[in-house]
């Protein structure tokens, strides 16, 4: 096998191979030590093979347990839980007190078959997809109560999570001791998940034998940020026997600081050369573009004041001669419609400083027949993210902003795939931009649960609690300095398709080359500022009661009632304006700083190592655009344009279920069958601007679902298990899609509106899986799954009468027109308008295969018996019909264009591999997690691109630990050892780079003491 790449770089596969070989070599060097320790390791495994959080086979909580210690013991414990389950469940257990297998819960989850990880800013695991279904289809419960946790993000990653998707980065992994991924449904499990239900559980005092104390300290270091920062964890638990029963109390806490840094390139968007009025035509080319304008200084020889038109038309003709009919939807393509340029080609450095704090508190009481549990949890994830860009902004501006029509093309080259890989230009506006995003997520939860056994055959339990998650962003400030009309700007992808060389035509490190001043008479923008305040809250309340009646040795019936209320609120308000005048005597050097040491690891040539950047504290000390007051024109919040919306879901449910367990034909048959009924009422409200007054717009949706579920496990000879599951499931619409906020344009007769009448996404699901527990603590399995998804939710355009939308007629009144008299309004209540909104559309099938292997090498002699292997692989296919365009909606034909593709976020192939070693004192493992490329957005070629894709990636992590004494453990962890980048590409043929960033390698050195 040969490896090729850029000179001086190592091919990714070669890097991964060297890392893997290095770890294995390290393990082999311990041969002598391992031979001496093997007997002790076997004894340790025998002693510690019971899970702290495991449930006994008869469903009763164990009276006393032994804490799991070691990676191998955690695997064994998880395997026992999986083996005794009725449905298809994957489990991860903590290795030790306050010691999860990975630094981040999401990164642990990616070891589960069918789970793929989506990373957030700084490369840390954020959200998951399960069997190809994204985070919005996965429910997460903490201590039995559903929770939603959202954080902010950079613009390219969606800016803010406002939906149901759970951000695992909010919580420290040390707070949890077990994690379960339930892939099949049961009648007693709350509905709402189409992908999986993920259960997280914090530690309780009865998980431990007696008084338990653990404290740990770590120092983390990232190769890109160069920062070393602390991480501290502690747990104290005790239990007592009293005259009133057994009592226990537990307190745990975790705190960490981290600086995450990202560097890379962004195109922001890819637009055709015909967009925004095209480019400035050379002298003598007809038709002349743009047309003469005395105000802007445009003539037959100039593109603007002091901006000469190009004299050689070759490059211009090369670009504008390329045409694209956009999938056959355009009869006469515009000149340049087939040449695609980055909208804002730019470099970015993001630096996020966060502090993560978590506290859990648990109390338990138990006697012979009853038990009470009180679980309390608090989490705080505080962030300050600094984004700095150096960019060219002309390619996304029209003539009104003195943009692309005043830019001349001097040179252009296209590769064999039609990608515009080199361009040189005059008249380009260059910008340095700084953004400070301050946001904090706070999560609070309390859960009271309990049970009572009335007799040997009748038992009842209850649970009541709530979770409250609040994402507050008091400040999102953006300030931009501009250098208008620069000559000699170029981009060049010819040496590196991921990170181009951007020549800005000026010394971008010199702040004197930029301006922050009001727009000039010719229309040149010379700086801007933007601000935003955001608050998003999720409140979820649950009350549930269940009755369990053991009918005989083979049948147990279960009945339950539950009431849930989910309240989502979202408030956003902003401001934006062109620059104002700086006070006399203030220079650009006074309000700027230098970004230095940039780009050395990006692999591109011609990347500037430094540039003059906005120094936001200094700038605000001079021009306080964050005062949002009249003293700074344009800083005032636009209250009439605010986003103010709320969705309240009331869900009442009941279920009946029977567990069965029979022996027939030398086979044990067990499982459950039942049905769940759920009534949902969703009330959605949004404030809309009606003639200068904010008024509520409200919609209500009610629906009832009956959801049968069947799970069957056949325990065959030789520890072979055959499982079959079938059921109906649903996933409720996103809150942002339900909220009926509306934007009405009477002139264009168009409306953009939320849809409070959306139905949930429903599906019939089927699973068949075979598991062979072929040796002690070993398993191999193969499974097939299918989901027949009955509907999907996506944006469409359609023409309907305005008066069917439930909006006030006053929104149609513009410039003093009348709905009944003269002058008559252009759009009337009976007028058909073009409506853009989310609707339920046809779904499609999703199916795939899962393979899983857990193989300790205990059959090998001596030292080698301490090794083990974990491996899994998943293949998924889906067919969803996406509506990409309603072609020419003003005509009677109203042709609807569609495209069949995978679910967005679905990687057709994922696989994970972990090789580990463990003896009585030493433990080591190296893990690789791979997901293939996936669709980020379906575009349908209506604007010259079929998809936005995310490149496939492989992340390699490692972990080492050594027990200095039975109570003291030294550990070293490494994450993202190959510094795997994140890349978005646009269009499968051209594969233009939309985003390329990397975040460096992270290492964590720790010391933990327990007794």
Tell me the three state secondary structure of residue 950.
strand
Q: Provide the pLDDT for residue 40.
A: 36
pLDDT for residue 157 is more than 80 = no
Pick from 30-39, 687-696, 706-715: least confident: 30-39
| Half-sphere exposure in the Cβ direction for 744 (13 Å, CA) | 26
My answer on whether omega of the bond before 290 falls inside 30° of 0, hence cis, is: yes
Average pLDDT over residues 508-519: 96
**Distance in angstroms (rounded) separating the CA atoms of residues 23 and 531:** 48
**Distance in angstroms (rounded) separating the CA atoms of residues 857 and 402:** 69
Q: Provide the pLDDT for residue 111.
A: 82
Question: Would you place residue 309 in the very low, low, confident or very high pLDDT band (cuts 50, 70, 90)?
Answer: very high
Give me 1007's structure tokens. 């010391």
Pick from 756-760, 813-817, 944-948: least confident: 813-817
Give me 54's structure tokens. 């495991």
Pick from 115-129, 462-476, 517-531: least confident: 115-129
Query: Which of 568, 572, 345, 545 is closest to 464 using CA atoms?
Result: 545
Give me 313's structure tokens. 């038309």
**Distance in angstroms (rounded) separating the CA atoms of residues 807 and 814:** 15
Query: Which of 723, 844, 867 is closest to 792 using CA atoms?
Result: 844
pTM: 0.87
Q: How far is CA 47 from CA 44, 69, 77, in A?
A: 5, 9, 12
Q: What percent of the chain has a predicted confidence (pLDDT) above 70?
A: 90
Average pLDDT over residues 352-371: 94
Phi and psi at 187, nearest 5°, equal: -60, -30
Average pLDDT over residues 463-482: 95
**Distance in angstroms (rounded) separating the CA atoms of residues 561 and 557:** 14
Q: How far is CA 767 from CA 88, 586, 723, 985, in A?
A: 8, 69, 8, 34
Q: What is the dihedral of CA 100, 102, 106, 110, to 10 degrees?
A: -110
Average pLDDT over residues 609-620: 95
pLDDT digits (tens, 9 = 90+) for 659-676: 999 999 999 999 999 999
Q: Provide the pLDDT for residue 575.
A: 95
pLDDT for residue 7 is more than 60 = no
Task: Tell the residue number behind the tokens 């409250």, with chain if given.
Answer: 468
Q: Provide the pLDDT for residue 76.
A: 86
Q: What is the dihedral of CA 75, 80, 82, 87, to 10 degrees?
A: 180
Question: Would you place residue 160 in the very low, low, confident or very high pLDDT band (cuts 50, 70, 90)?
Answer: confident
Strand 968-975 to 1002-1010 pairing: antiparallel
**Distance in angstroms (rounded) separating the CA atoms of residues 154 and 174:** 27
Which DSSP symbol is given to 441? E
Q: Provide the pLDDT for residue 42.
A: 36
Mean pLDDT of the chain: 88
| Half-sphere exposure in the Cβ direction for 887 (13 Å, CA) | 15
Q: Provide the pLDDT for residue 886.
A: 61
Average pLDDT over residues 592-603: 86
Average pLDDT over residues 957-970: 93
Question: Would you place residue 13 in the very low, low, confident or very high pLDDT band (cuts 50, 70, 90)?
Answer: very low
Give me 913's structure tokens. 């591999």
My answer on whether omega of the bond before 974 falls inside 30° of 0, hence cis, is: no
pLDDT for residue 483 is more than 90 = yes
Q: Provide the pLDDT for residue 101.
A: 67
pLDDT digits (tens, 9 = 90+) for 413-434: 999 999 999 999 999 999 999 9
**Distance in angstroms (rounded) separating the CA atoms of residues 178 and 99:** 10
pLDDT for residue 252 is more than 70 = yes
For residue 402, the Cα-to-chain-centroid distance in whole angstroms is 37
pLDDT digits (tens, 9 = 90+) for 818-827: 998 889 998 9
Q: How far is CA 202 from CA 61, 175, 193, 234, 936, in A?
A: 16, 6, 22, 13, 34
Q: Provide the pLDDT for residue 884.
A: 77
pLDDT digits (tens, 9 = 90+) for 779-805: 999 999 999 999 889 888 778 899 999
pLDDT for residue 45 is more than 60 = no
Q: Which helix H or strand E contains 46, and what residues bound it?
A: helix 31-47
Q: Provide the pLDDT for residue 32.
A: 35
Query: Which of 286, 267, 790 is closest to 493 using CA atoms?
Result: 267
Length of the chain: 1011
Pick from 49-53, 199-203, 378-382, 842-846: least confident: 49-53
**Distance in angstroms (rounded) separating the CA atoms of residues 926 and 24:** 9
Pick from 99-108, 637-646, 782-791: least confident: 99-108
pLDDT for residue 16 is more than 60 = no
**Distance in angstroms (rounded) separating the CA atoms of residues 962 and 969:** 6
**Distance in angstroms (rounded) separating the CA atoms of residues 739 and 686:** 6
**Distance in angstroms (rounded) separating the CA atoms of residues 976 and 261:** 13
pLDDT digits (tens, 9 = 90+) for 701-720: 999 999 999 999 999 999 99
Pick from 240-244, 307-311, 901-905: least confident: 901-905
Average pLDDT over residues 363-392: 95
For residue 316, the Cα-to-chain-centroid distance in whole angstroms is 41
Pick from 145-149, 603-607, 812-816: least confident: 603-607
Tell me the three state secondary structure of residue 421.
strand
């Amino acid at each position: 096998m040969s490896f090729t790449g850029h000179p001086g770089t190592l091919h990714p596969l070669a890097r991964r191979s060297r890392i893997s070989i290095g770890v294995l070599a390290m393990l082999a060097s311990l041969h002598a030590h391992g031979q001496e320790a093997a007997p002790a390791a076997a004894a340790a495994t025998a002693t510690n093979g019971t899970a702290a959080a495991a449930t006994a086979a008869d469903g009763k909580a164990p009276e006393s347990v032994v804490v799991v210690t070691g990676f191998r013991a955690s695997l064994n414990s998880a395997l026992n839980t999986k083996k005794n389950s009725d449905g298809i469940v994957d489990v991860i257990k903590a290795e030790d007190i306050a010691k999860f297998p990975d630094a981040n819960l999401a990164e642990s989850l990616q070891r589960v078959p069918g789970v793929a990880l989506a990373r957030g800013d700084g490369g840390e695991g954020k959200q998951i997809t399960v069997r190809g279904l994204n985070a919005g289809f996965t429910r997460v419960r903490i201590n039995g109560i559903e929770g939603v946790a959202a954080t902010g993000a950079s613009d390219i990653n969606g800016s803010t999570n406002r939906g149901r998707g759970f951000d695992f980065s909010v919580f420290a992994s040390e707070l949890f001791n077990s994690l379960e991924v339930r892939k099949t449904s049961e009648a007693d499990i709350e509905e709402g998940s189409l992908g999986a239900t993920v259960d997280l559980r914090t530690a309780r005092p009865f998980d431990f034998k007696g008084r338990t104390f653990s404290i740990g300290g770590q120092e983390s270091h990232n190769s890109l940020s160069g920062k070393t920062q602390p991480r501290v964890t502690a747990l104290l638990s005790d239990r007592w026997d009293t005259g009133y029963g057994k009592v226990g109390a537990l307190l745990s806490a975790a705190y960490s600081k981290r600086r995450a840094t990202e560097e890379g390139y962004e195109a922001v968007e890819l637009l055709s050369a015909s967009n925004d009025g095209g480019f400035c035509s050379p002298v003598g080319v007809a038709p002349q573009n743009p047309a003469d304008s005395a105000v802007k200084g445009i003539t037959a020889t100039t593109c603007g004041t002091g901006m000469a038109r190009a004299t050689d038309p070759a490059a211009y003709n090369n670009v504008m001669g390329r045409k694209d009919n956009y999938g056959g939807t355009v009869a006469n393509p515009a000149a340049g419609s087939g040449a695609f340029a980055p909208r804002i080609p730019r470099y970015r450095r993001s630096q996020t400083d966060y502090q993560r704090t978590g506290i859990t508190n648990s109390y338990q009481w138990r006697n012979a027949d009853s038990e009470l549990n009180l679980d309390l949890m608090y989490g705080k994830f505080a962030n300050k993210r600094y984004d700095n860009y150096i960019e060219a902004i002309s390619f996304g501006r029209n003539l009104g902003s003195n943009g692309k029509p005043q830019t001349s093309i001097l040179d252009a080259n296209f590769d064999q795939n039609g990608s515009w890989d080199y361009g040189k230009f005059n008249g380009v506006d260059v910008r340095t931009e700084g953004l400070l995003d301050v946001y904090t997520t706070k999560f609070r939860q309390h859960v009271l649960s309990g049970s009572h056994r009335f007799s040997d055959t009748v038992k009842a339990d209850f649970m009541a609690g709530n979770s409250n998650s609040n994402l507050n962003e008091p400040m999102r400030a953006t300030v931009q300095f501009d250098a208008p009309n620069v000559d000699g700007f170029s981009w060049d992808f010819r040496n590196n398709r991921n990170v181009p060389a951007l020549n800005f035509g000026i010394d971008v490190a010199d702040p004197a080359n930029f301006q922050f001043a009001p727009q000039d008479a010719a229309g040149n923008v010379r700086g801007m500022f933007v601000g935003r305040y955001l608050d998003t809250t999720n409140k979820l309340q649950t009350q549930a009661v269940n009755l369990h009646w053991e009918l005989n040795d083979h049948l147990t019936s279960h009945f339950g009632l539950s009431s849930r209320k989910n309240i989502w609120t979202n408030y956003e308000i902003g401001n934006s304006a062109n620059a104002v005048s700086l006070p006399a005597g203030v220079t650009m050097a006074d309000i700027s700083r230098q970004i230095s040491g940039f780009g050395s690891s990006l692999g591109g040539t011609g990347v500037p190592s430094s540039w003059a950047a906005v120094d936001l504290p200094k700038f605000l000390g001079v021009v306080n655009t964050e005062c949002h007051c009249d003293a700074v024109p344009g800083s005032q919040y636009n209250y009439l344009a605010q986003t103010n919306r709320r969705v309240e879901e009331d869900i009442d449910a009941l279920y009946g279920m029977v567990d069965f367990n029979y022996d027939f034909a030398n086979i044990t048959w067990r499982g459950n069958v039942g049905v769940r009924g759920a009534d949902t009422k969703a009330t959605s409200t949004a404030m809309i601007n009606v003639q200068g007054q904010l008024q509520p717009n409200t919609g209500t949706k009610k629906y009832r679902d009956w959801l049968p579920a069947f799970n069957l496990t056949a325990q065959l000879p030789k520890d072979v298990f055959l499982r079959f599951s079938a059921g109906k499931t649903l996933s409720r619409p996103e809150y942002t899609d339900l909220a009926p906020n509306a934007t009405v344009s009477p002139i264009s007769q168009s409306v953009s509106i939320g849809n409070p009448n959306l139905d949930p996404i429903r599906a019939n699901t089927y699973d068949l899986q075979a598991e062979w527990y072929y040796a002690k603590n070993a398993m191999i399995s193969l499974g097939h799954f299918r989901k027949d998804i009955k509907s999907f939710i996506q944006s469409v355009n359609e023409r309907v009468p305005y008066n069917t939308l439930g909006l006030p007629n006053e929104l149609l009144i513009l410039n003093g027109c009348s709905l009944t008299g003269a002058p008559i309004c252009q759009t009337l209540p009976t007028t058909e308008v073009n409506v853009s909104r989310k609707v339920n559309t046809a779904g499609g099938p999703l199916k795939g295969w899962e393979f899983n292997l857990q193989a300790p090498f205990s059959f090998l002699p001596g030292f080698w018996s301490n090794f083990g292997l974990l491996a899994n692989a998943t293949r998924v296919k889906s067919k969803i019909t996406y509506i990409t365009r309603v072609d020419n909606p003003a005509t009677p034909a109203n042709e609807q264009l569609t495209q069949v593709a995978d679910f967005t976020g679905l990687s057709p192939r994922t696989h994970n591999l972990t090789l580990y070693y463990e003896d009585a004192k030493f433990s080591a493992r190296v893990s690789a997690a791979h997901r293939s490329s996936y669709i980020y957005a379906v575009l349908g070629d209506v604007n010259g691109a079929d998809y936005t894709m995310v490149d496939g990636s492989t992340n390699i992590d490692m972990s080492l630990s050594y027990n200095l004494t039975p109570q003291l453990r030294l550990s070293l962890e490494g994450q993202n050892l190959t510094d795997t980048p994140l890349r978005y590409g646009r269009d499968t043929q051209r594969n233009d780079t939309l985003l390329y960033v990397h975040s460096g390698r992270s290492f964590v050195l720790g010391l933990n003491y327990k007794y």
